[in-house]
Chain A
Amino acid sequence: MTTDLKPVPELTELNRPYFRAAAEGRLCIQRCRPCGHRWFPPSSRCPACLSTDVEWADVSGRGTLWSWILMHQRYFAGFADEIPYPIGFVQLEEGPFLVAGLVGVDVEDLVCDLPVRVVFEESRDGIVLAKFTPAGSVAATS
């Protein structure tokens, strides 16, 4: 079945805390209570120590742009009118990596190791996404 809409996740008991926090403007991922490890995407168990005693905890929202690409290919009709669009592979200050859209930045200013900060944008149907923008930019401080 084709759709002209952007892909969005179905909310589940496991991933709902992430999206609820994003809707409130907070970046929140899982953390293991016994060992402190953090990870994303969500899982029922800690990948470091295998404990199921896990919680959701806010992260700073700061990270570094490990790498980025510009998507020129029309894989999703819902993204077609944004082509070419930048996508980042961001390493959060706390360690985990996220794939995320990049906003508020010109392509010429994209460079690996750029410090970035989370901003939130709604995709559709109430699903808010954590995207990233250069840490020094106006958008990040608003």
Chain B
Amino acid sequence: MSIRDKTAIVGVGTTEFGPRYRHLDPEVTAFDLAAEAFTSALTDSGLQKSDVDGLITARLPSYGRLADMLGVRHPRLVNAFEGTGRMSGVALQTAVMAVVTGQAEVVACVYGNNGRSAGAKYGGGAGDARGDVSTAIYDSMHGMTSPGAYVAMMYQRYRHEFGVPEDALAPIAISNRRNGALNPNAVMREPITYEQYLAARYVAEPLRMLDYCLINDGGVALIVTSAERARDLAKPPVYVTATAAAGDLTNYYTSTDFFGAACRDVAERVHRDAGLQPADIDCLQIYDNFTPTVLFSLEGFGYCGPGEAWEFVKDGRIEVDGALPVNTSGGHTAESYMQGWALHVEAVRQLRGEAGERQVPNCATVQYVCASPIVTSHIFRR
């Protein structure tokens, strides 16, 4: 059964990333941020709240609490995802499947995260000392923690296998910051130089501070409906042409093939189902929890060969005015870390022509890629 172009994203909403980054608010809840994004997305779509018959949440402690806050009492599709970046792609896929199968017609996917104000750490938790719920203790007893360190392990290996120089990630960090300066909603509005990148301190060497995503409070919402319903709404529809997922599930975040097998599986299906290859894609939104993930994504999805991505990203190729713009909003290292959700919004903005100074001219197709323990990819078109 083909789902090609049968669903569309018709509404997007986000909170303001810069102000929240600069002024922590210990009173704001994840639900507040989610509700703000939902309301914004609803307005953006031109739909009424009573039209919403599907509710998917992510990173919220209770889907029921959000439903009650929003007054959405009887959704026909309800699901709640954990607070990991891999889930943004999974959530959209769930919404698409629900609409295509007729389970629901208008599905709101809503993310809210107040972790920064609430003091959440992405590392350092001793967590479950018995190892019953999480096996992290077997690593943290050695002082190992945090997804960034696990990606650093992968990147160290990648450097060894392919003879990659010390500064190879700089173009990614620099391009993201350049795009952030063009994005009024980005946290980081100042570009960085090559020298500044190299001078940034190590976090989990070989990764530096400027290779890391910006932890922030925020909310993001997407509203998905059928292509038919999308035709009469406020904004030009952004069609989901294809989508696919594959896990890379071991005990560790670190993947010994750089998520390659899972990426190739997803790439083959999403490109086949869309009838589009990398050469047909105008813009990429790549989940960049840490800059090396961009390399693994480009290679895994066939934009270049194994070991070639560090050269592929050089010389402006991935910049907003380059041959293949990547993370035009500034991505997770400049716009804000919203666990993939804001990258979905940026895909929509590019295809609608709403990306302002960072607009990719004639942007007709955008691919989202998340290389992680659940690899997902969507191809969108206008």
The answer to whether A and B come from one shared complex is yes
A interface, CB within 8 angstroms of B? 3, 6-10, 12, 14-15, 40-42, 66-73, 75-76, 78-79, 82, 84-85, 87, 89, 97, 99-101, 111-113, 123, 127, 129, 131
Q: How far is the CA of A101 from the CA of B145 in the complex (A)?
A: 12
Docked Cα-Cα span, A68 to B204, in Å, equals 10
- Complex contacts, B130 vs chain A, CB 8 Å: 9-10, 12, 15
- Number of contacts between A and B (CB, 8 Å)? 114
Which residues of B pack against A, CB within 8 Å? 121, 123-124, 126, 129-132, 135, 137-146, 149, 152-154, 156-157, 160-161, 201-206, 250-252, 254, 256
Given A9-B129, A69-B206, A75-B124, A101:B142 Cβ within 8 A:
yes
| Contacting residue for A69 out of B129, B137, B149, CB 8 A | B149
A68-B138 in contact given A6-B143, A99-B144 (Cβ < 8 Å)? no
Contacts of B138 in A (CB 8 A): 9, 40-41, 99
Q: Contact: B156 with A75, CB < 8 Å?
A: no
A76 to B146 alpha-carbon distance, docked (Å) = 11
CB atoms of B204 and A69 under 8 A apart: yes
Q: Which residues from chain B contact A7 at a C-beta distance below 8 Å? A: 126, 129, 137, 140-141
Instruction: Report the minimum CB–CB distance from B57 to chain A (whole Å).
Output: 29
Main secondary structure of the interface of A (DSSP, over half): loop
Contacts of B129 in A (CB 8 A): 7-10
Identify the closest chain A residue to B204 (Cβ): A69
A97–B251 Cα distance when bound, in Å, is 9
* B256 and A97 within 8 A (CB): yes
Can you show 23 pairs from A to B with CB atoms below 8 A apart? A6-B141, A6-B143, A7-B126, A7-B129, A7-B140, A15-B131, A41-B138, A67-B153, A70-B204, A71-B143, A71-B144, A71-B205, A72-B204, A72-B205, A73-B204, A75-B146, A76-B124, A87-B142, A99-B142, A99-B144, A100-B142, A129-B142, A131-B142
CA–CA, A14 to B135, complex, Å?
12
